[in-house]
Structure 1
Amino acid sequence: MSVNKVILLGNVGRDPEVRYLDTGVAVATFPLATSDRAYTLANGTQVPERTEWHNLVLWRGLAETAEKYVHKGDKLYVEGKIRTRSYDDQTGAKRYVTEIFVDNMEMLSARSAVPGTAPQAGMPGQTGAPVQSTQSQVTPAQNNPTDDLPF
């Protein structure tokens, strides 16, 4: 048995770049930044903040949602899989790219339809609005609706 699962919470580094394949399927790509805070070791050594950049790839409905509602600077929670691919650049050298193929996404930045107004209930982009792929997952709470445990 093996597991390939990634969970990221970070900020969008660039507006999504969306393209449509000949079959009409949407594909969105954009970077997501995650940062570890700066800290000081017991001996006084200062360790600076470290930012990692992740290349996200979204397909179909998630890509279309990202095209409409995701913008540079937005905070996102994503779940997906790590995929690595290779290609030959113009010089013939082999290059490797590691990408996160997103299965689920939650937009955590508040968005409003009109500047200065609060987001309306049920609008994508509202704080905590989940957006999932067509491969919906059933959570344990959905299996037993009488279970009111807070965890």
Structure 2
Amino acid sequence: MMNNVSLVGRLVKDAEVLSFKNSDKMALKFTIAVERTYRNAKGEKGVDFIQIIYFTQFADKLSKYVIKGKRVGVIGRLAVNSYVDENNIKRYQTNVVADNIQFLDKIERQEIV
């Protein structure tokens, strides 16, 4: 069985750093806009907004580069989670759990400092 996802998109907003109770694990959570390949009847391309979770011990350091408007490549897997909301309705949420992220825009020297 295979569960692989490869995406290229632009960050919709700055990444959020997640930390977990009783753990030293950290993650980055961000959303990318991925343009669809086909056009609708009006000639417009649609966009999908995909939430990404990237577990890394360097989340706090990486977060300053994962900012709105930047282009990134993501390789990972789909993860579907379920929960019961406040109205006792079962909900599902689909995320991409990233194994690797690649910065596709040139990083200016002053951004690194």
Runs of 5+ consecutive residues of structure 2 not aligned to the other structure: none
Using the TM superposition, give the Cα deviation of residue 65 of structure 1 relative to its aligned residue in structure 2, in angstroms: 4.8
- The answer to whether the Cα contact below 8 Å between 1:82 and 1:100 also exists between their aligned partners in 2 is yes
**Whole-Å separation in 2 of the counterparts to 1:65 and 1:49:** 34
Q: Say if 2:56 is the partner of 1:60.
A: yes
Using the TM superposition, give the Cα deviation of residue 48 of structure 1 relative to its aligned residue in structure 2, in angstroms: 2.2
Among all aligned residue pairs of Structure 1 and Structure 2, give the percentage whose two residues are the same amino acid.
24
**Whole-Å separation in 1 of the counterparts to 2:31 and 2:82:** 18
Normalised by the size of structure 2, how large is the TM-score?
A: 0.85
Q: Specify the alignment match of 1:120 in structure 2.
A: none
Using the TM superposition, give the Cα deviation of residue 10 of structure 1 relative to its aligned residue in structure 2, in angstroms: 0.4
**Whole-Å separation in 2 of the counterparts to 1:108 and 1:73:** 11
Q: Specify the alignment match of 1:147 in structure 2.
A: none
Runs of 5+ consecutive residues of structure 1 not aligned to the other structure: 116-122, 124-151
Instruction: From 102, 106, 114, give the equivalent of 2:102.
Output: 106
Q: Say if 2:92 is the partner of 1:96.
A: yes
Give the partner amino acid of 1:3. M
Q: State which structure, 1 or 2, has the greater radius of gyration over its C-alpha atoms.
A: 1
Q: Say if 2:87 is the partner of 1:83.
A: no
Give the partner amino acid of 1:25. K
Q: Specify the alignment match of 1:73 in structure 2.
A: 69
Higher-RCO chain (CA-CA 8 Å, sequence separation at least 6): 2
